[in-house]
């Protein structure tokens, strides 16, 4: 386990991720969010892809790196990986890194609806990601999941009280009525 001491700049980036509200109807974070991720985990390239369960990329957003206009949208033979994957440590993929032009890649994927995965990809061309980079991704993963999850409904109405919002958040997280009631005792 790595002890993280964040600089002011990193704290600001983490606050940006934590405070950002997802955009209804899209799983793609804004450039401001992607720039915050790059402040936390410096990389040569960052992109977000949304692919169906066959591994076909339907949408993508990228900052830096290669031009993907002519890239084959079929990136794999099944769904994109879910969770945090350090590609350099995956034996079947380690040899592919060089052919792809990378020293290292990090993939952070989340299910997005019944048949899609949204994956954030960080790439470095010259040096691998270290334990601090992985710890930073782990720290920011919950905020990124919230941002990259497609919101089927717009924001909650402004007329709700703080208490009503807290209850709704716990209901959305799957807590039982008894558990929610217990937490306010």
**63 contacts: CB under 8 Å, gap ≥ 6:** 31, 34, 35, 38, 45, 46, 47
Let me know if residue 3 belongs to a domain: no
If DSSP codes are grouped into helix, strand and coil, which group holds residue 54? Answer: coil
> Are residues 34 and 125 located together in one domain of the fold?
yes
Q: What integer pLDDT is reported at residue 134 of this predicted model?
A: 96
- Check whether residue 73 and residue 106 sit in a common domain: yes
CATH number at residue 145: 3.30.450.40
- pLDDT at residue 185, as a whole number: 58
Domain that holds residue 32: 8-151
Q: Which residue has the higher pLDDT, 107 or 31?
A: 107
Q: Is position 2 within any domain?
A: no
Helix, strand, coil percentages in the chain from 3-state DSSP, rounded to 5? 40, 20, 40
In a domain, 37, yes or no: yes
What's the token pair of residue 52? 């169906």
Say if 125 falls within a structural domain: yes
**Phi-psi domain of 166 (left: phi exceeds 0; alpha: psi -120 through 50; beta: other):** alpha
Q: Between 182 and 102, where is the model more confident?
A: 102
Q: Within this chain, do residues 69 and 32 fall inside the same structural domain, yes or no?
A: yes
Q: Looking at the structure, do residues 95 and 23 belong to the same domain, yes or no?
A: yes
In a domain? residue 1: no
Please write the tens of the pLDDT for every residue from 116-162: 899 999 999 999 999 999 999 999 999 998 888 765 555 667 788 88
Pair 96, 177 in one domain? no
Tell me the C-alpha distance between 136 and 45, whole Å.
17
Domain count of the fold of the chain: 2
Higher pLDDT, 100 or 121: 121
Which pLDDT belongs to residue 29? 79
Same domain for 169 and 131, yes or no, is no
pLDDT of residue 177 exceeding 80, the answer is yes
- pLDDT at position 170: 77
Same domain flag for 92 and 80 = yes
Q: Using the predicted structure, report yes or no on whether residue 92 has a pLDDT greater than 70.
A: yes
Q: What is the DSSP letter of 149?
A: S
pLDDT at residue 16 in the model:
92
Q: Which of 54, 37, 24 is nearest to 154 (CA)?
A: 24
Same domain, 27 and 109: yes
Between 82 and 157, the higher pLDDT residue: 82
Residue 15 predicted with pLDDT over 90: yes
Do 33 and 62 lie in one domain? The reply is yes
Together in a domain, 164 and 88 = no
- Shared domain for 182 and 101, answered yes or no, is no
Over range 79-84, report the average pLDDT: 88
Is residue 143 one of the residues assigned to a domain?
A: yes
Same domain, 166 and 120: no
């Amino acid at each position: 386990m790595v002890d993280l001491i964040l600089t002011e700049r990193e704290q600001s980036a983490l606050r940006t991720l934590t405070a950002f509200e997802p955009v209804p109807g899209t799983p793609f974070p804004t450039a401001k969010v992607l720039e915050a991720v790059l402040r936390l985990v410096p990389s040569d390239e960052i992109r977000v892809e949304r692919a169906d369960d066959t591994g076909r990329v339907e949408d993508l957003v990228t900052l830096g790196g290669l031009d993907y206009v002519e890239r084959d949208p079929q990136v794999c033979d099944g769904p994109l990986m879910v969770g945090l994957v350090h590609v350099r440590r995956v034996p079947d993929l380690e040899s592919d890194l060089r052919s792809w032009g990378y020293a290292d890649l990090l993939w952070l994927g989340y299910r997005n609806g019944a048949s899609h995965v949204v994956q954030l990809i960080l790439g470095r061309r010259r040096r691998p990601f270290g334990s601090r980079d992985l710890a930073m991704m782990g720290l920011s993963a919950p905020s990124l999941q919230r941002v990259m999850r497609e919101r089927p409904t717009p924001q909650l109405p402004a007329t709700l009280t703080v208490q009503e919002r807290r209850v709704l958040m716990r209901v959305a997280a799957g807590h039982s009525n008894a558990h929610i009631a217990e937490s306010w005792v």
